[in-house]
Structure 1
Amino acid sequence: MTEHDRERTALLCVPFAGAGPSFFHPWRATAAGRWRVVPVELPGRERRIMETPYRNVVEAAKNSVDDIVTDLGEGTPTVLFGHSLGAVLAYELVHLLSRREVPVERLVVSGSPGPWTQRERRATGLPDDEFLARVEEFAGFRHEALDHPEMRELILPVLQADCEMHENYVPSTDERVSVPICSIRGSSDGLVDAEQAQEWRHATTGAFSYREIPGDHMYLVNRARDVLDLIEAESARGR
């Protein structure tokens, strides 16, 4: 890591259910000059495909934080971004990073109700085809790789584990974070409504803002620049 990288604010990107770090690789070009994009790499996908995926958010955060601190670099100012499952995992990571002397500047959560809201619409435990249909209904999105038997065999167990840990998530603490939180929602998200997205105001003792971007629950698939521009604007407001 160069001295320039140490000085530049990191954008720590936490994946949504079924996603791997490569989802965020195209963000690097768009973020150039603004942040160093650092995707979180969870077991069960991509380079860690042979490892058992987590089924508990708190466990995933605790077991990932050492590698994350190493990837960020000591003392690197950091903004966290997480969508859906990634939002609650990022929330747990903020608590842990604050104890590791990582200067977290902001938490940006996307497509998620507040951390204490239990997920009523569930896919966990359904047979494979019903599970995939339910997830597709929730997200309004289906990954084309699921239509290929070999890829489906690799992706399905990870997606099932991710959904299980998201749907069963209970925060590790009732203590609020002190960093500012921005909650983003796709304007036509049928899974998370505006009121639920604004529940995040109760998760911080710092500033809170709420923003919408055109699209459904998976708006960020085609809206990377909009997300990054919004994060930059929010960061500028907080200075």
Structure 2
Amino acid sequence: MNDSDLWIRRYFPSAEAAVQLICLPHAGGSAPFYRPVAQALNPRVEVLAVQYPGRQDRLHEPMIDDLGMLADRVCEAVVTAVDRPFALFGHSMGATLAFEVATRLEQQGIFPLRVFASGRRAPSRHRDEQVHLRDTDGLVGALRALSGTDQRVFGDEELLRMVLPAIRNDYRAAETYRYTPRPPLSAPISVLVGDSDPMANREEAEAWRSHTDGEFELHTYPGGHFYLLDHAADLLRVLDERLSEPALR
């Protein structure tokens, strides 16, 4: 297994797909979160889901708690893995990571078709958050409030002990991230958020506009941070429509 295989999961390989979509998980998340997306978009779009170290089949690898370092490693894997036009999709922490990866790629002369930023405020909109410093009860409480974790996890102490280190690590990475000013992306940006998301209000979502010289659009859905679980069909339609555009030109 090469380094790219460690980082990238192809659940439904599609040689006929005109476009690839690189999917980046949220804090504490893992590649299988995007398996339903890969199945739904197959065979028109080949989904490449990123697997961060320190979880599931990479459980015994050191975690990375610096978003810049993580972006460097993901960027290396993406450069090796992609072999046709591609876009980036990230939810929550994954959205910020998608932005940082896109920046690195464009600096190398590799231009994504589009960046989809879900459930996250613009990189330039900082909040002073310290969830990663809370004790176990405080961290679990924060997870419950976002309603994105399978409730069965909270009743399984052994499983909870297994997943909390990765969650805390990723919260640390997201909360200690600091945007550094740089030229806007060339890639268009599509932002998707829930209208009651405690992690990204409308002004913070709109601020993504300043991070691209290309097209910008904002899609708002009823719901909170994990709106996408209740509006999967709508989200898939947006992805399908936007990713079909380059194939038509």
TM-score over 0.5 for the alignment? yes
The code of the aligned residue for 1:64 comes to V
Q: Is the 8 A contact 1:145 1:152 kept in 2?
A: yes
The partner residue of 2:217 within 209, 212, 224 is: 209
Q: Is the 8 A contact 1:58 1:172 kept in 2?
A: no
The partner residue of 2:200 within 149, 168, 192 is: 192
The code of the aligned residue for 2:148 comes to F
Where 1:119 maps in the other structure, the secondary structure is: coil
Q: Residue 56 of structure 1 aligns with which residue?
A: 66
Please, what is the CA RMSD of the aligned residues?
Answer: 2.2
The code of the aligned residue for 1:184 comes to L
Which runs of 5 or more structure 2 residues have no equivalent in the other structure? 1-9
Q: Which runs of at least 4 in structure 1 moved beyond 6 Å after TM superposition?
A: none
Q: Displacement of 1:4 after TM fit?
A: 6.2
Superposition pairs for residues 94-173 of structure 1, below 5 Å?
A: 94-137=102-145, 139-143=146-150, 144-173=152-181
Distance 2:180 2:66 in 1: 11
Q: Is the 8 A contact 2:67 2:97 kept in 1?
A: yes
Distance 1:173 1:56 in 2: 18
Superposition pairs for residues 22-33 of structure 1, below 5 Å?
A: 22-33=32-43
Distance 1:47 1:99 in 2: 31
* Larger CA deviation: 44-53 vs 216-225: 216-225
Q: Is the 8 A contact 1:113 1:196 kept in 2?
A: yes
Q: Residue 45 of structure 1 aligns with which residue?
A: 55
Q: Displacement of 1:69 after TM fit?
A: 2.2
Is structure 2 residue 41 aligned with structure 1 residue 35? Answer: no
Q: Displacement of 1:119 after TM fit?
A: 2.3
Q: Is the 8 A contact 1:15 1:83 kept in 2?
A: yes
Where 2:149 maps in the other structure, the secondary structure is: coil
Q: Is the 8 A contact 2:16 2:44 kept in 1?
A: no
Could you give the per-residue CA deviations for residues 155-186 of structure 1, whole angstroms, max 9, x where no partner exists? 00000010011111113552211110011111
Could you give the per-residue CA deviations for residues 87-130 of structure 1, whole angstroms, max 9, x where no partner exists? 00000010122244544100010111110111234312111111
Where 1:39 maps in the other structure, the secondary structure is: strand
After TM superposition, the score normalised by the length of structure 1 is: 0.89
Q: Residue 182 of structure 1 aligns with which residue?
A: 190
Work out the number of aligned pairs and report it. 235
Which runs of 5 or more structure 1 residues have no equivalent in the other structure? none
Q: Residue 6 of structure 2 aligns with which residue?
A: none
After TM superposition, the score normalised by the length of structure 2 is: 0.86
